Structure 1
Amino acid sequence: MNSANRSFTILDGGMGRLLERLGAPFRLPEWSALSLIEAPEFVTRAHRAYVDSGADIITTNSYGLVPHMLGPERFTRDGLSLADRAGRLAREVAEGAGRKVLVAGSLPPLFESYQPERFQADEAPRILESLVGGLRPHIDLWLVETQSSTPEALTALAAVRDLGLPVYVSYTLKDEDGRVGPAELRSGEAVSDAVERTLAAGASGVFFNCSQPEVMSDAVLAARRVSGWPDFAIGVYANAFAPEPPSDAPYAGISEIRADLGPENYLRWVDRWIAQGASVVGGCCGIGPEHIEAIRNYRARIAV
C-alpha cells in the first residue's frame, strides 16, 4: 500500500445494512426509516458503532424520510418530526463520543435512488422543507447524497446553501459490471461537468457514493482536474452491492452484497483514493464498522 504520510477525514459506513445486522426492524419500502419509527434505540447503537470504530463524521438516519418510502400521508404528517428525531439521535451520540465527532445531515434523493428521470422540480421544495427544518438544529454540515443528476443535486444545494453550514454534494455513478470509459453520473452527465456546476453553485466539496469501488478512481481524478476551486474537498464512500442492471421497479428487492469487499480488500481501494486526492473516505451500503475500523487503523499507521 501507498504509505505516504497523509491526513484525511473518516466518514461512517452504511446505515441500513448495519441496522439489519443489529436486529432492528427492517423491510422495504421503509428501509432504514423503519427503525427510526419503531425502534430508535437501534439507530443510536448503529451511530455508536461507527463512532467506536473511528468515524469522524456520522450521518443522520434520514435517507428513508421521503414520500416514496414512508408513504405520502405519513411523510406529510410525520416527516418533520422524524427528521428532527434523526438529527437528535446523531447529535446525542456525537456529544457523548469523548472526542470531536461531526454530524452530517443527510439529504437523500427525493423521489427515487438511481432514477434521475423521476426528479420533480416542482415537488422538491416541499419535501426539502420538512427534512431541512427537522435536521437543521442538530447538525454540523449538510450531505446531499446519492444524487444521480445535477438538477436534483443543485435543487437541494440551493435549499441549504445560505443556512451557514458547509454543504457537500455526493453523486452516484454509472457502475455496470465491466463498464469502461469516462466517469459519468447515472444521468449520463460527465463527472467533470457535474463537479464544475456543483462548485459554481456554492458547494464546499464533491463526493462520490453508492457505486462500486471500481468506478470511483476515475471520478476522483476527474474532480481533481477541475480548476478554479483549489481548496474543495473530494470524498468517496463506495457501496458493496453486486453488479445489477438498472430497473424501473422501485425497491424490487434487497440487493446482494459482494463477498470480495471485506475490510482488507476495501482498504486497498481506500488507499488508492487517498493517493489520488480524496480527503474524506468512508463507506455506503454494505460497508460496516469493521471497515471503518480498518480505515482508522490504516490512518494511524501512515501518520507515524
Structure 2
Amino acid sequence: MSLQNTNFAILDGGMGRLLERLGAPFRLPEWSALSLIEAPHYVAQAHQAYVENGAEIITTNSYGLVPHMIGEARFTAEGRALADRAGRLAREVASKAGRAVKVAGSLPPLFESYRPGNFKADKAPAILEILIDGLKPHVDFWLIETQSSTAESLSALVAAKATGLPVYVSYTLKDEDGRTDPPELRSGESVADAVVATLDAGASAVLFNCSQPEVMSSAIIAAREAIDRSLNPAAGLGVYANAFVPEPPSDEPYAGISEIRSDLDPASYLKWIRRWVDQGATIVGGCCGIGPEHIAAISAGRSRWLANGKTAL
C-alpha cells in the first residue's frame, strides 16, 4: 500500500530515558527534572541529539517541573527559574540547528501521570502560571501532554491560550495488555468526545502519547473522524507512543522505573509510524523509551517514501 501522506512533522522522543543513557543525574521522583537542576548541559545534549537525528520539534524538559516531583518548597522558590532554564536550553539548540526547528513548551500532568482522579482544579492555575511564565519567552507553541482527562487538559488549555500561542493537547490512553475496547482516555472518556471537546475549546492539534503503540491506531482513526467533522478540519493530529512493557494499573506512585520493550527497535517502531501516518497522523515522534535512533529512522523513512513516490519500501 502506498502512503497517503508524507507531509508530516517529526517530533522528538523521550527525554528521561535519554538523559539516563547520557549519564545525567537521574532518579525518582525528580525524573528528568534532576538534570535540569543539577546538570543542565545534559539537557542541551539530549535536545541536540534529537535535532541531529531529524527532529523538527523539540520539547522543553519541563515535564518534571511540578510540586509532587521536585517538592513543594523547591517549586515555589525555583519553579519559574527552572521553567525559564528549560525553555532557554531548548531554544538555544533550536536556534543553532541551521534549519527550522520549533520548540514545544511542555505542560505536564500537574498531580501525577495516569491518575485523573488526582486532578485539583483549585490548585492547577497557580502551578500553570509559574510554568507558563517561565517557558513563554522561549516556545513556539504549547504541548499539554500526557493528559488523562478533559477536565485536566482544558484547565491547562485555558491558561495556555491566554498567551496567544497555539496550543496542542496530547492524551494518554487506557492501554492494558490485551485491551480491545474502543479507545478511551485513562479517565474512561471516549477519544471521540475528548477530541470534540478539545477542538471546541480552541486547540490547534490533538495528539496521543505515553501509551502502548497497539492502542494508538484506533485512537487516531476515531480522532481523524472527529477532526474531519469539526469546525477545524485542518487541526493537527499526532501520536508519540512509549516503549514500556505493559503493566497492570497501580495506585502506587513511583513504584519504579518501567522496563523497556525489546520489540520496539527503530525498524519496528517505523512500521507503526507508517501505519499512523496512513491513518491520518500529521505529527509523529516518540515518548518514553523512544530515542534519537528512532527519530533518525523516521526521518530516513520519510525521505525514502518521498523518493519512492510514496510507494512501499
Task: Report the TM-score, using the length of structure 1 for normalisation.
Answer: 0.99
| Corresponding residue for residue 223 of structure 2 | 223
Report 1:140-289 matches (<5 A): 140-226=140-226, 227-228=229-230, 229-289=232-292
Shift of the alpha carbon at 1:4?
Answer: 4.8
Retained in 2: the 8 A contact 1:103–1:139? yes
Retained in 1: the 8 A contact 2:5–2:278? no
Retained in 2: the 8 A contact 1:4–1:302? no
Q: Deviation per CA, 1:2-58, whole angstroms, max 9, x where unpaired?
A: 445621100000000000000000000000000000000000000000000000000
SS at 1:61's partner residue?
coil
> Given residue 279 of structure 2, which amino acid in structure 1 is its aligned partner?
Q
| Corresponding residue for residue 81 of structure 2 | 81
- Alpha-carbon separation, structure 2, partners of 1:114 and 1:5: 32
Report 1:68-107 matches (<5 A): 68-107=68-107
Shift of the alpha carbon at 1:302?
Answer: 1.2
Change in 2 beyond 3 A, CA 1:5/1:158: closer
SS at 1:106's partner residue?
strand
Change in 2 beyond 3 A, CA 1:5/1:80: closer
| Corresponding residue for residue 59 of structure 2 | 59
Retained in 2: the 8 A contact 1:65–1:79? yes
Retained in 2: the 8 A contact 1:2–1:271? no
Structure 2: 5+ residue runs without aligned partners? Answer: 308-313
Report 1:129-140 matches (<5 A): 129-140=129-140
Shift of the alpha carbon at 1:160?
Answer: 1.0
Instruction: Calculate percent identity across the aligned residue pairs.
Output: 71
Structure 1: 5+ residue runs without aligned partners? Answer: none
Shift of the alpha carbon at 1:164?
Answer: 1.7
Is 1:113 aligned to 2:113, yes or no? yes
Q: Deviation per CA, 1:141-162, whole angstroms, max 9, x where unpaired?
A: 1000000000000000000113
Q: Deviation per CA, 1:172-203, whole angstroms, max 9, x where unpaired?
A: 00000000011000000000000000000000
> Given residue 9 of structure 2, which amino acid in structure 1 is its aligned partner?
T
Retained in 1: the 8 A contact 2:3–2:278? no
Task: Report the TM-score, using the length of structure 2 for normalisation.
Answer: 0.96
Is 1:291 aligned to 2:294, yes or no? yes
Q: Deviation per CA, 1:223-269, whole angstroms, max 9, x where unpaired?
A: 11111221110000000000001111111100010000000000000
- Alpha-carbon separation, structure 1, partners of 2:5 and 2:252: 46
Retained in 2: the 8 A contact 1:12–1:55? yes
> Given residue 249 of structure 1, which amino acid in structure 2 is its aligned partner?
E
SS at 1:303's partner residue?
helix
Retained in 1: the 8 A contact 2:65–2:82? yes
Shift of the alpha carbon at 1:163?
Answer: 1.5
SS at 2:51's partner residue?
helix
Is 1:127 aligned to 2:163, yes or no? no
- Alpha-carbon separation, structure 2, partners of 1:255 and 1:6: 33
> Given residue 288 of structure 1, which amino acid in structure 2 is its aligned partner?
G
SS at 1:208's partner residue?
strand
Retained in 2: the 8 A contact 1:7–1:303? no
